[in-house]
Chains A and B, each alone.
Chain A
Amino acid sequence: MAGVNMSLGTEATISPDHTDVTNSSWLLNRTVPERNGSVQVTGSAVKECTQISIPTEVYLILAGISLLENLLVIIAVIKNRNLHSPMYFFICSLAISDILLSLTKAWEAVTISVISGKEHLFTHVLIKILDDIYDSLLCISFTASVFNLAAITTDRYITIFHALRYHNIMTKKRVAVIIAAIWIFCTFTGIIMISFAKYDGIVSFFFILFFITLVLILSLYIFIFLLAQVHAKQIRSLPGYRAHQRTNFKGALRLTILLGIFIVCWAPFSLHFTLYLFCPSNPYCACFICLFQVDLIFIMCHSIIDPLIYAFQNPELCNTFKKMLCCFKRHA
């Protein structure tokens, strides 16, 4: 009976029962006897909540799409000098964290599918180290993603509410310092979280982080939205103006999509760790915990949708991207 490893999504376990190691059994056979003692005890796999596993191909496809989109964003920002402003630097930083997330996840999936069945070729230490490295990188990219989203929201807030002093507040040097601080803190956090993964407090740290960032993003966007309504009312109150509810509706829809996607993609992962902390042996919690890989898929989807809602909503960036495509077509 193997122990528990709280590394993110992977587990380096030592199983005394080596009968099922012949091929990539983890993909096919999920009800291996030693996995869960209760299976042997009850003997019925029907009532069990087994770990839902996602094939490696799905990870690779999602990672490929995310890599492509975020690379396009970064290249577009680099090529167009008009886009060298704080807002786009934050979007670039978000794109980098999304690339790191997708690449790490894809590499981990590939490594697992390669190694499973051939464990005897690799030393235990090597596999453990690889496992830790992948988990640290995932942790770093998760926290960086969340912090970059918060930074983008704060930047938009300052743009709206301190419009006249924006240039003094967001100098290029300050932006560089902020982005560097985010990445250094995330690297530090990721390494610490994996090194001390056996302590419960570390797991709750991620949930607290997500919750604080969610509250921050929600409140900032609500403020921005309220100000937009105030402006809209002012413009509407001018004579000779006819109200168009449709545009306000579109604003509300856009904000709902933005916040909704963030919540939908990150909440399952955070709830997973919360349930793992507080009720790991509860059968209901265990069934949610078994859906861990689905949670990871949602986070990868978030890294795919991020460029669409943050970067490509921007006409300037879209135009740059179209020019790049036209140039590429002309050369090809």
Chain B
Amino acid sequence: MSEASAVANKTTVSNSDYIWRYEYYDDEPVSFEGLKAHKYSIVIGFWVGLAVFVIFMFFILTLLTKTGAPHQENVDLSTKQHRTNSFAINYIMSRSDKAFSHRENEEPRSLFHCYVNEIVQLERQQFVNKAHGAGNSDLTTRGREGRSDSSDDPMNCLTKFNIPNFVSSDQSSSLTEDDLLMCEQPIIPENKPDRLQDIHNISD
């Protein structure tokens, strides 16, 4: 790599000046005779290849988003639902307000937290459904329930949202996801006051 030996040889030259600049020398002189292609062909090829790769990657990612084409397109232009999907993407991409790490949230973003929580609930519900072989109806009910609840009671969402915090900051670090789900069992989606009660029971 470095021609330390060549430099060492040069130190014997007494009348030499030390030049410090941005330059690269080659061991043997580079002959530019008889070039078949343009001399900057590697440079051009590299940048074109890079641009093609980035564009290709973008198309692949866009294709991945389009494969889940919606089966039903409702005329109902609910902005809440729009925000749900956008927060699903933005939550995962930006990870902005991770209320996982904050118990108190002075920011008035309860709706955002609710939709984030909704995703976590969906995941948990899927685990529960797998465990009990329940159908998709629970998921649907819970999802709908979560959304309608969240719009009515922001405090409810904030309290719900603290569940991972409370449980995981518990002394037993050996808690696995299954244990957390078992704790969540008593929560009944339909009954809101009971859910609050259960949440407080878990947290205490």
How many angstroms from the CA of A47 to the CA of B17 in the assembled complex?
Answer: 29
- Residues on B with C-beta less than 8 A from A159 are 95, 98, 100
Distance of A280 Cα from B16 Cα, bound (Å):
26
Bound Cα distance from A160 to B4, whole angstroms: 49
What is the minimal beta-carbon distance from A26 to any residue of chain B, in angstroms? 4
A85-B101 in contact given A38-B31, A156-B95 (Cβ < 8 Å): yes
Smallest distance from the beta carbon of A251 to chain B beta carbons, Å? 4
CB contact under 8 A between A238 and B64, given known A127-B18, A167-B164, A264-B54: no
Q: Is B62 an interface residue (CB 8 A)?
A: yes
- Bound complex: CA A140 to CA B23 (Å): 21
Judge whether B71 is part of the interface by a CB distance below 8 angstroms. yes
Query: Contact flags (1/0) for A222-241 with B, using CB distance below 8 Å?
Result: 00111111011111111111
- Report A296 CB to chain B, min CB distance, Å: 9
A251 touches B65 (CB 8 A): yes
Q: Which of B1, B65, B169 is close to A248, meaning CB atoms less than 8 Å apart?
A: B65
1/0 contact string of B31-56 vs chain A (CB within 8 Å): 11101010111110010001001100
Shortest CB–CB separation between residue B79 and chain A, in angstroms?
10
Whether the pair A4, B26 counts as a contact (CB closer than 8 A) is: yes
CB-CB contacts of B115-145 with A at 8 A, as 1s and 0s?
0001110110000000000000001100110
Q: When A249-B62, A260-B57 are in contact, do A4 and B27 touch as well, CB less than 8 Å? A: yes
Q: Give the top 4 A-B pairs by smallest Cβ distance, nearest first.
A: A3-B6, A37-B29, A3-B3, A26-B21
Q: Decide if A112 touches B20 in the complex (CB within 8 Å).
A: yes
Q: Return chain B residues, CB-CB under 8 Å to A250.
A: 86, 89
Q: Is the pair A14, B16 in contact by a Cβ cutoff of 8 Å? A: yes
Chain B residue with the shortest CB-CB distance to A36:
B29
The answer to whether residues A10 and B22 also contact, given A21-B17, A228-B93 and a CB cut-off of 8 A, is: yes
Docked-complex contact A255 and B16, CB < 8 angstroms = no
Contact A163–B27 (Cβ < 8 Å): no
- Across-interface contacts of A167 in B (CB, < 8 A): 100-101, 164-165, 168-169
Whether a CB of chain B sits under 8 angstroms from the CB of A198 is: yes
- Do residues A119 and B19 form an inter-chain contact, with CB atoms below 8 A? yes
B107 at interface by CB-CB < 8 Å? yes
The smallest C-beta distance from B103 to any residue of chain A, in angstroms, reads 11
Q: Which of A237, A243, A289 has a CB less than 8 Å from the CB of B73?
A: A243
Q: Considering the complex, which residues of chain B in the window 49-93 have a beta carbon less than 8 Å from any beta carbon of chain A?
A: 50, 53-54, 57-58, 61-62, 64-78, 81-82, 84-86, 88-90, 92-93
User: How far apart sit A125 and B7, CA to CA, in the bound complex (Å)?
Assistant: 13
Contact partner, B95, options A13, A87, A275, Cβ 8 Å: A87
Please tell me if B201 contacts chain A, counting CB pairs below 8 Å: no
B204 contacts A by Cβ under 8 Å: no
Q: Are A16 and B10 in contact (CB under 8 A)?
A: yes
Chain A positions 150-182 with a Cβ under 8 Å from a chain B Cβ: 156, 159-160, 163-168
Are B39 and A49 touching (Cβ within 8 A)? yes
The chain A residue with its CB closest to the CB of B100 is: A166
